[in-house]
Structure 1
């Protein structure tokens, strides 16, 4: 398992010559499928950010990500930051704020979302919009 907060800032390298493309700025999530879909790479102030599909990664580790290739632009979904998002039920009830999320770096599946009110299992996620992460109604598991 990896945490979103631990991936942010990791260097992103190319295989072989290990050229540094930049650092992970954010992970794009498809909340409905519960998966990380893309990595957004900060390339410095004067260069545009690069966006790489999760499937284009060759390796993911605690110290770096290695990209097979940047490839063509392809379809890039809009990015909404999961970390810091408000959490609302489908009925509009406030359920805290997202602090972090745990995911499997091999499958890109989100395992749990950590909020100010406790842990949410990934199967409760419905969608992530500009204003909030929307979840199925249910009870948040409070840590003891």
Structure 2
């Protein structure tokens, strides 16, 4: 059981608080995060680091805290750290808060809880949900956790008309100047990140829809004892040509002008190819050739003086 001087504490007042061992008076680190179990609506674990920015986080349960003071947290010894699966829990910071009708109320920036048992009382909302922005800059509102219907990973659903029952804690500068408005008064600027059909329900069961079962193609196992030749696939016939008889008959009786080809003149250059190559049309008369007659001359002349 955690001992504290204050019955209600805010998350922002605990972040950065030093954790000190009572046995050795050694500083173990500072608180960097609080983890909540929203099914139980309570804080269950605390993250401790060397500082708020760097360092490997170590986890301890809220019940391990011996004294929760305004300036320091005392634990019995240095063996308070445990192997806690924080993935099963949520920090709740930055989660959207919407009504059953989808009306955006803001985002969680802080919460109030009982440090003795970790029970959560109120959520503190703003339009941005960033704890580093001072409450004097943005308007903040308080929401009772009893108005929560369902809690998702990044979204909280509350009862319808909750925007009229919120308690305003601070008025931001923009709202004082008349520039800023509460999130539920500027619905046209809000784009829902989740389809309303995918939101968490109010507890009423939805009608079950029939699931379609898809069958997978299975490959037959080969059996050497029981097998048979596969039946040959039927041969596909070639498609027969299609003739439009009506179209052909219509062409015979159409009013289109008939086209006539020019008369073909046969080329006479090769007409004599089939005739006798040695036949003459007229008898051939050879020209007369004048051949001079040669006179015989003796080869030598006889000498008359002998």
Q: Same fold (TM over 0.5)?
A: yes
The equivalent residue for 1:76 is 85
RMSD: 2.3
Identify the match of residue 17 of structure 1 among 24, 34, 40.
24
Q: Which residue of 1 aligns with 2:158?
A: 136
Aligned pairs (5 A) from 1:55-134 = 55-68=63-76, 69-73=79-83, 75-78=84-87, 79-89=89-99, 92-116=102-126, 118-125=141-148, 126-129=150-153, 131-132=154-155, 134=156
SS in 2 for 1:143: strand
Task: Go from structure 1 to structure 2 and tell me whether the alpha carbon gap of 1:43 and 1:128 turns closer, same or farther (over 3 Å shift).
Answer: farther
Relative to structure 1, is the Cα distance of residues 55 and 143 closer, same or farther in structure 2, using a 3 angstrom cutoff? same
Higher-RCO chain (CA-CA 8 Å, sequence separation at least 6): 1
Please identify, of 85-94 and 108-117, the stretch whose mean Cα deviation from structure 2 is larger: 85-94
Number of positions where the alignment pairs a residue of Structure 1 with one of Structure 2 = 141
From the CA coordinates, give the structure whose radius of gyration is larger. Answer: 2
Taking a change above 3 Å as real, the CA distance of residues 3 and 128 of structure 1, as seen in their structure-2 partners, is farther
Pair 1:91–1:54, CA change in 2 (3 A): farther
Distance 2:11 2:54 in 1: 25
Structure 2 CA distance for aligned equivalents of residues 128 and 59 of structure 1: 32
Pick from 14, 28, 49: which aligns with 2:35? 28
- What is the deviation of 1:92? 4.3
SS at match of 1:123: helix
Question: Cα offset for 1:72?
Answer: 4.1
Residues 1:55 and 1:115: Cα distance change in structure 2 (over 3 Å): same
CA-CA distance at 1:41 after TM superposition: 0.7
Query: Which residue of the other structure, out of 50, 54, 62, is the alignment partner of 2:58?
Result: 50
1:34/1:123 contact within 8 Å kept? no
Q: Which has the higher strand share?
A: 1
Q: CA contact under 8 A between 1:82 and 1:128: conserved in structure 2? A: no
In structure 2, the CA distance between the partners of 1:62 and 1:135, relative to structure 1 (3 Å rule), is: farther
> C-alpha offsets along residues 51-109 of structure 1, whole Å, 9 cap, x if unaligned?
10111111111111122332542x42315332332223455442201121111111211
